[in-house]
A = this chain, B = another copy of it.
Amino acid sequence: MVQLVHPSKDDITLAGVLSALADPMRLRIVKSLLGNDSCMSCTEATPFPGMAKSTLSHHFRILRDSGLIQTSKRGVEHRNVVRVDDINARFPKLLETVLGFAD
Contact = CB atoms under 8 A, between A and B. Distances in A.
Taking the full assembly, how many copies of this chain does it contain?
A: 2
B98 A18 contact: yes
A14 B22 CA distance: 7
Nearest to A17: B22
Contacts of A94: 97-98, 101
A7 interface: no
A101 B101 CA distance: 19
Interface string A87-103: 00001011001100110
A93 to B, nearest CB: 5
23 contacts: A14-B27, A14-B98, A14-B101, A14-B102, A15-B22, A15-B23, A15-B24, A15-B27, A18-B18, A18-B19, A18-B21, A18-B22, A18-B98, A19-B19, A19-B22, A22-B22, A91-B101, A93-B93, A93-B97, A94-B97, A94-B98, A94-B101, A97-B97
